[in-house]
Structure 1
Amino acid sequence: MTDDVTLGIAIDCTDPRMLARFWTTALPYVAASPPAGWASWEDFLTACDVPESEWNDGASIEPANGSGPTITFLKVPEPKQTKNRVHLDVKVSGGRRVDPQTRESRIRAKEAELVAAGAVNLTEYLAGDHLDHLVMADPEDNEFCIV
């Protein structure tokens, strides 16, 4: 095993910049920095002779605190067609050790924020009589959970 292996997550989509913006709202992430030596992605793409019409073929976000995987959004021609086999969890509740009303309040606050940013609530799951988590869809119908 080598120490130079890192984890990155790639999500296919039709509008990478839009979806990257959504996920910087959902997670403590920011737009990825341009490659070292470049002041902006536009400068880098121009220097690499990438036509401006292709600048939205991909977008990346990175953890604001520098710890965790990058998430890259890659343009594909077709819309999402089936259920995700892998999904992201937006963990805000503090887990089941937290008072159920506090958990629900935290989950509902994040739900409201993400619905305002274009997400849709698909399903609610209970643990006993209390909200456990929500299954949501991002603006391109990729499922994720608010836990």
Structure 2
Amino acid sequence: MSEACDTLHGMAISVQVTFDASDPRALAAFWAEAVGYIRQPPPDGFGSWEEALAAFGVPEREWNSRAALVDPDGRGPRFFFQQVPEGKTAKNRLHLDVRAAAGLSGDERMAALERKCDQLVALGGTRLYRVEPAPPMETGFITMADPEGNEFCLD
């Protein structure tokens, strides 16, 4: 990425994807498996987030009000999960595509998507529907929902 693309008026730009959740820790665990991310490490000097939160005086009832994931390679956006009181009520206006079969086509592509779908269903995801390849415009994908109903595609 060019310097012009990753800065704006001298300020570094990065992207964070934020999820509203009823159970941030559980939803973060699902997405960590879905995209190969890890839980954001606790601040320096602390062996765990629980230790850090206790030291910061955060009441234990609030320890699951937030969670964060990071790309272990440091390239992708941070995923942040924040607790909200209301549940999901309508279709997402924005969704993620999990690139589980990049570079594959036809039966090989769909088989890779099916394997990832099975893995995510075992973790609490829901399979919604499959779209078959129809070249040249459609390569095929599977639409799913995470454990809290947020739609995403296996692409």
The answer, yes or no, to whether TM exceeds 0.5 is yes
Unmatched 5+ stretches in structure 1: none
Post-superposition Cα deviations, 1:18-46, rounded to whole Å, max 9, x if no partner, equal: 00110111011011111233322112211
SS at match of 1:127: coil
Task: Specify the alignment match of 2:134 in structure 1.
Answer: 128
Task: Specify the alignment match of 2:16 in structure 1.
Answer: 8
Counterpart code for 2:123: A
For the pair 1:77 / 2:85, whether they are aligned, the reply is yes
For 1:60 and 1:112, the matched residues in 2 are separated by 25
The count of corresponding residues between Structure 1 and Structure 2 is: 145
For 2:38 and 2:105, the matched residues in 1 are separated by 31
For 2:15 and 2:73, the matched residues in 1 are separated by 16
TM-score, normalisation: structure 1: 0.92
Task: Specify the alignment match of 1:92 in structure 2.
Answer: 100
Task: Specify the alignment match of 1:25 in structure 2.
Answer: 33
Give RMSD over aligned pairs. Answer: 1.6
Counterpart code for 1:82: A
Task: Specify the alignment match of 2:111 in structure 1.
Answer: 105
Post-superposition Cα deviations, 1:10-68, rounded to whole Å, max 9, x if no partner, equal: 10010000001101110110111112333221122112110001000011111122221
TM-score, normalisation: structure 2: 0.87
For the pair 1:61 / 2:69, whether they are aligned, the reply is yes
Q: Report runs of 4+ in structure 1 exceeding 3 Å deviation.
A: none
Correspondent of 1:50 among 49, 55, 58: 58
SS at match of 2:118: helix
For 1:132 and 1:107, the matched residues in 2 are separated by 9
Correspondent of 1:145 among 119, 130, 153: 153
Unmatched 5+ stretches in structure 2: 1-7
For 1:135 and 1:103, the matched residues in 2 are separated by 15
Counterpart code for 2:75: S
For the pair 1:114 / 2:114, whether they are aligned, the reply is no
Post-superposition Cα deviations, 1:90-145, rounded to whole Å, max 9, x if no partner, equal: 101124xx330110110000000000001111121123288700110000000000
